C-alpha cells in the first residue's frame, strides 16, 4: 500500500519537521474512514494469505548459491506477461481447477525478495480451503517461469549468509552506501524504489546511529568462548556510524548486524481476514493476539544469521531491532529532553493493547503504562470514536512518519488514506487492524502477522488453513483467549528460544469458554453456550497458566501421551536434559485439563456440513500442525540445524560456510519445488538433491506428508 506514491522523499531532519503535519492529516483521514465505515455491516467473510520468497541462484554444477538482486526485472516480466492468466494451464494440471484469477506479485524491501498473494481473496466455503495449496504451488511455478533458469524462488525466512562478502548475483562488494551505511551489506540490497532506501536511511538518522541487530550465537562444542563476531571491522572510518562498533554495538557472544535488510529481508506468512463488521473485527484482533507467540514458536524457521548458527529459532526480534528508530531518550538511555516519551518497544513489536469492547476484557488485561498521544486520542474521541479504539490509534500515532513526500503535503485529500497509512503501515505489530480504504469498498480487516514462512507450500497452506479454522472456531464458540497483554509480550520473547516449541512454556488461558476461572468447574467440554453471560471474576492470575505448545495445540491428554516418546534428537546440541519439570507436568489434575486447539477445530468441523474429501484434506493439515506441536515432526529451524550439524564441512564451531549454505539451499529448493512438481504431497517419500543424493532428514520435517 502506498508503494506507488512518487515524488520527493524528505531526508530525516526535514521529514521530522513535517511529522505533526502528517499526523494531523492522518487523523483527519482516519476519522473520515471511521465516520464512513463504522456502521458497515454484513461484509463477506473473506481472507487472503501473503507468501514471501527469497530469490536465489543455484545450479547443480555451481559451487555457490547467491542472492539474486533482479526483483525489479522479475516483477516487470510478470507484469508484462499477458499470458499470466493462462498460466493456470501449467503442465502440472492441478492449477486448472482453480476458480481464481492469476496470483498477484508484489515488491518487498529486499531486492532479492518477492511477495505473492492469491488473485482475489478466499471466500467462506470450506472447499476453497483446498485451493490454497495448489494456488501457492502455482504462484511458485509462475514466479520461477519468469526467472532465469538458475534463479529460484525459495521460502526460507533468511538467506543464511546474508552479510558475508559476495553473496549477491551482481558484485556489490565491498559494501558501502550512504543510505544504510552498513559494514556488511550494500545499499543496492534494498528495493531501489525511493521509499525503501529512504525508510532505511531515516530510521538510522532518527535513531542517531545504525540499527543494532545482535543475535546470541549458538555455542557448539568447538565454538570459541567468549565468542567475538569475526566479521566485524573495527577499523572503518568512512561514515560517522562506523564508530558504532567502537562504542560497543557488537558485544561478545552475539552475531552483529547493522542494517534494516537483516530484518526486513526476512520472509513470513501473513493472513488477513475481513470481518462482517467493526465489532467482529475488533473481537478477532483481540482473540488472535494471544495466539501470535504460539504460532511463532510453532513455525520457527530461522536458526542462521550472517553465516553463524544462532541461539534463537525465529526472526521476530531481529526485524524489530532492524527497524527500531527510537532515540536514546526514547529508549531510556538519556534523560528526556527533546523527545516526548520513553517508549518501551520498537515500532515493529508485539501489539501492546487490546481493542475490543468485549465485556470479557477485564481492565487488568491492559497495560496501564501504554504510551499514547493524549491530544490525538482526544481528537479521535471528539470525532466520535470510542475510547478503546481511540487509545489504540493514539498509541500507533506516538511514532513519527518516516518517509514523507513533499508533494503530498500541499493539500489534504480526504478521499485518500495516505497520511493515515504512513503511520499505520510502519507500525509493524503482530496483529494489524486494517480499516476500510477511503472508498469504503471493502470491510474492516485483521491481519495475523507473526508466522514464519515454511519451506513447502504444503506447510504454508496448512498453517494458513489452521489460522482460518481457528478463527471460525473463535467466532462460532465465542472463545475467550484473553490474558494480560504483557504476558503476550513475555510469550513473544519465549518463542525465540531454540526449540521453544518443545522446551518452553507459554502463558495461556485455562478456560476458553468462560470469562473467569471462578466459574470453571467442568472445564472439559468443547460444547458450550456462547450466550452465557459474564460471571463474577476471580484474580486474573488464576485465569491462565504456563502450558507447552503441545498442550495448547493438542490438549493436555495428547500432550501427556506424546511428551517423552518423540523429541527429535539434535546432532549438534549437547543435549542437556531439558525435561526438568516432569513433575510439574504430571501433576496435572483435572483443573489443568485443556482441550487443545486442534480438538476444538475438529469438534467444530464435526458440527458443520462438510464433504468427506474436504474433511480428509483438512485433516492432513491439522495432522502436520499436531505433529509439529508434539515434536513428532521437527520445525524447519530444527531441520536446518540438523542439516548443518551433519554436514561434512561443519566444524562444530557455529560457522555455516559457503559449502554448507549451498547444500542447504539446494535441499530447500528440492523440498520446496519437489512438492510443487508432484502436484501435491504424497510422492515417493524421497527428495533427491544434486547428483542424485537424497536430501537428508526430510522425513523428520515432513514425515508421511512427503
Q: Which of 445, 509, 510, 567 binds ligand ADP (CB under 6 A)?
A: 445
Residue closest to ligand ADP when measured from CB atoms? 48
Query: Which of residues 155 and 223 has its CB atom nearest to Mg ion in the complex?
Result: 155
Asked if 115 touches Mg ion (CB under 5 A), the answer is yes
Asked if 106 touches ligand ADP (CB under 6 A), the answer is yes
**Of ligand ADP, Mg ion, none, which one does residue 491 interact with (CB within 5 to 8 Å by kind)?**
none
**Cell numbers for 301:** 524457521
Tell me which stretch binds ligand ADP (CB under 6 A): 268-276, 326-334, 357-365, 482-490. 268-276
Binding mask 219-258 for ligand ADP (x = CB under 6 A): ----------------------------------------
**Cell numbers for 183:** 559494514
3-state secondary structure of 70: coil
* Residues numbered 676-705 forming contacts with Mg ion, rule: CB under 5 A: none
DSSP 266-312: --BEEEEEE-SSHHHHHHHHHHHGGGHHHHHHHT----EETTEEBSB
State the burial class of residue 528 (Cβ atoms within 10 Å of its Cβ: 0-12, 13-18, 19+). Answer: middle
Q: Which of 34, 47, 305, 513 binds ligand ADP (CB under 6 A)?
A: 47
What element of type H or E holds 129?
none
Query: Which of residues 116 and 502 has its CB atom nearest to ligand ADP in the complex?
Result: 116
CA distance 112 to 71: 6
Q: Which of 108, 220, 400, 447 binds ligand ADP (CB under 6 A)?
A: 447
CA distance 38 to 511: 32
What's the min distance (Å) between Cβ of 603 and Mg ion? 31
Q: Kindly report whether the peptide bond that precedes residue 226 is cis, defined as omega within 30 degrees of 0.
A: yes
**Of Mg ion, ligand ADP, none, which one does residue 442 interact with (CB within 5 to 8 Å by kind)?**
ligand ADP
Query: Which of residues 43 and 330 has its CB atom nearest to ligand ADP in the complex?
Result: 43
**Cβ(253)–Cβ(226) below 8 Å:** yes
Rounded (5°) CA angle 444-446-450: 165
Residue in 32, 23, 15 with CA at minimum distance from that of residue 413: 32
Q: Which of 103, 107, 118, 163 binds ligand ADP (CB under 6 A)?
A: 118
**Of Mg ion, ligand ADP, none, which one does residue 330 interact with (CB within 5 to 8 Å by kind)?**
none
Tell me how crowded residue 226 is: count the other CB atoms within 10 A of its CB.
10
Asked if 163 touches ligand ADP (CB under 6 A), the answer is no
Tell me how crowded residue 279 is: count the other CB atoms within 10 A of its CB.
15
Q: Which of 32, 50, 151, 313 binds Mg ion (CB under 5 A)?
A: 50
What's the min distance (Å) between Cβ of 370 and Mg ion? 8
CA distance 203 to 197: 10
Number of residues that bind ligand ADP (CB under 6 A): 17
CA distance 678 to 50: 23
* Residues numbered 613-672 forming contacts with ligand ADP, rule: CB under 6 A: none
3-state secondary structure of 373: coil
Q: Are strands 348-349 and 428-429 parallel, antiparallel or unpaired?
A: parallel
Tell me which stretch binds Mg ion (CB under 5 A): 115-123, 151-159, 438-446, 551-559. 115-123
Query: Which of residues 44 and 608 has its CB atom nearest to ligand ADP in the complex?
Result: 44
CA distance 634 to 630: 9
Residue in 1, 137, 146 with CA at minimum distance from that of residue 70: 146
What's the min distance (Å) between Cβ of 385 and Mg ion? 18
Q: Which of 272, 352, 379, 478 binds ligand ADP (CB under 6 A)?
A: 272
Q: Across-strand partners of 398?
A: none
**Of Mg ion, ligand ADP, none, which one does residue 352 interact with (CB within 5 to 8 Å by kind)?**
Mg ion
Q: Which of 15, 25, 48, 664 binds ligand ADP (CB under 6 A)?
A: 48
Binding stretches for ligand ADP (CB under 6 A):
1, 46-50, 106, 117-118, 121, 270, 272-274, 442, 445, 447
Binding stretches for Mg ion (CB under 5 A):
50, 115, 270, 352
Amino acid at each position: 500500500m502506498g508503494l506507488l506514491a512518487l515524488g520527493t522523499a524528505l531526508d530525516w531532519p526535514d521529514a521530522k519537521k513535517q511529522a505533526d503535519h502528517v499526523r494531523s492529516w492522518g487523523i483527519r483521514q482516519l476519522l473520515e474512514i471511521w465516520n464512513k465505515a463504522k456502521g458497515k455491516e454484513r461484509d463477506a467473510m473473506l481472507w487472503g494469505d501473503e507468501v514471501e520468497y527469497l530469490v536465489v541462484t543455484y545450479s547443480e554444477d555451481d559451487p555457490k548459491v547467491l542472492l539474486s538482486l533482479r526483483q525489479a526485472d522479475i516483477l516487470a516480466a510478470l507484469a508484462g506477461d499477458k499470458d499470466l492468466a493462462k498460466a493456470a494451464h501449467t503442465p502440472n494440471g492441478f492449477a486448472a481447477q482453480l476458480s481464481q484469477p492469476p496470483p498477484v506479485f508484489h515488491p518487498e524491501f529486499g531486492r532479492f525478495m518477492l511477495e505473492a498473494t492469491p488473485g482475489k481473496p478466499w471466500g467462506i466455503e470450506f472447499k476453497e480451503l483446498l485451493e490454497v495449496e495448489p494456488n501457492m504451488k502455482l504462484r511458485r511455478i509462475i514466479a520461477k517461469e519468469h526467472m532465469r533458469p538458475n534463479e529460484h524462488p525459495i521460502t526460507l525466512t533468511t538467506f543464511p549468509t546474508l552479510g558475508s562478502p559476495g553473496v549477491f548475483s551482481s558484485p556489490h562488494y565491498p559494501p558501502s552506501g550512504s543510505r544504510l551505511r552498513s559494514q556488511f551489506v550494500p545499499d543496492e540490497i534494498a528495493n531501489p524504489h525511493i521509499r525503501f532506501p529512504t525508510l532505511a536511511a531515516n530510521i538510522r538518522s532518527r535513531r542517531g546511529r545504525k540499527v543494532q541487530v545482535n543475535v546470541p550465537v549458538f555455542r557448539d562444542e568447538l565454538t570459541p568462548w567468549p565468542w567475538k563476531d569475526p566479521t566485524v571491522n573495527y577499523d572503518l572510518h568512512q561514515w560517522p556510524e562506523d564508530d558504532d562498533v567502537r562504542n560497543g554495538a557488537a558485544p561478545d557472544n552475539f552475531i552483529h548486524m547493522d542494517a534494516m535488510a537483516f530484518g526486513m529481508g526476512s520472509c513470513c506468512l501473513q493472513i488477513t481476514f475481513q470481518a462482517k463488521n467493526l465489532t467482529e473485527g475488533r473481537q478477532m484482533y483481540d482473540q488472535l493476539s494471544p495466539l501470535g507467540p504460539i504460532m511463532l514458536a510453532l513455525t520457527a524457521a530461522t536458526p542462521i544469521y550472517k553465516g553463524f548458527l544462532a541461539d534463537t529459532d525465529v526472526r521476530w526480534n531481529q526485524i524489530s531491532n532492524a527497524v527500531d528508530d527510537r532515540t536514546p531518550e526514547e529508549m531510556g538511555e538519556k534523560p528526556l529532553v527533546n523527545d516526548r516519551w520513553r517508549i518501551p518497544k520498537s515500532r515493529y513489536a508485539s501489539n501492546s493493547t487490546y481493542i475490543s469492547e468485549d465485556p470479557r476484557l477485564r481492565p487488568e488485561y491492559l497495560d496501564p503504562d501504554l504510551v499514547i498521544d493524549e491530544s490525538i486520542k482526544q481528537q479521535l474521541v471528539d470525532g466520535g470514536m470510542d475510547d478503546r479504539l481511540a487509545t489504540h490509534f493514539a498509541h500507533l500515532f506516538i511514532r513519527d512518519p518516516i518517509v514523507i513526500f513533499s508533494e503530498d503535503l500541499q493539500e489534504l485529500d480526504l478521499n485518500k488514506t495516505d497520511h493515515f497509512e504512513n503511520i499505520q503501515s510502519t507500525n509493524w505489530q503482530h496483529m494489524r487492524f486494517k480499516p476500510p480504504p477511503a472508498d469504503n469498498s471493502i470491510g474492516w480487516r485483521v491481519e495475523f502477522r507473526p508466522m514464519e514462512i515454511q519451506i513447502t507450500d504444503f506447510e504454508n497452506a496448512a498453517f494458513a488453513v489452521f489460522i482460518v479454522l481457528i478463527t471460525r472456531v473463535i467466532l462460532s464458540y465465542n472463545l475467550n483467549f484473553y490474558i494480560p497483554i504483557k504476558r503476550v509480550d513475555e510469550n513473544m520473547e519465549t518463542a525465540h528460544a531454540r526449540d521453544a516449541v518443545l522446551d518452553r512454556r507459554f502463558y495461556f488461558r485455562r478456560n476458553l469458554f468462560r470469562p473467569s476461572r471462578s466459574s470453571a468447574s467442568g472445564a472439559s467440554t468443547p460444547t458450550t453456550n456462547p450466550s452465557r453471560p459474564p460471571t463474577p471474576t476471580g484474580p486474573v492470575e488464576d485465569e491462565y497458566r504456563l502450558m507447552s505448545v503441545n498442550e495448547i495445540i493438542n490438549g493436555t491428554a495428547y500432550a501427556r501421551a506424546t511428551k517423552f516418546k518423540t523429541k527429535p534428537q539434535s546432532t549438534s546440541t549437547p543435549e542437556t536434559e531439558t525435561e526438568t519439570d516432569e513433575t510439574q507436568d504430571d501433576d496435572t489434575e483435572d483443573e489443568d485439563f485443556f482441550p487443545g486447539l486442534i480438538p476444538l477445530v475438529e469438534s467444530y468441523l464435526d458440527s458443520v456440513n462438510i464433504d468427506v474429501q474436504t474433511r480428509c484434506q483438512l485433516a492432513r493439515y491439522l495432522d502436520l500442525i499436531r505433529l509439529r506441536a508434539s515434536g513428532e515432526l521437527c520445525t524447519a529451524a530444527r531441520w536446518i540445524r540438523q542439516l548443518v550439524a551433519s554436514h561434512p564441512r561443519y566444524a562444530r564451531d557455529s560457522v555455516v560456510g559457503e559449502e554448507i549454505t549451498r547444500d542447504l539451499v539446494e535441499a530447500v529448493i528440492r523440498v520446496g519445488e519437489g512438492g510443487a512438481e508432484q502436484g501435491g504431497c504424497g510422492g515417493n517419500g524421497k527428495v533427491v538433491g544434486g547428483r542424485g543424493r537424497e536430501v537428508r532428514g526430510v522425513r523428520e520435517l515432513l514425515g508421511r506428508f512427503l
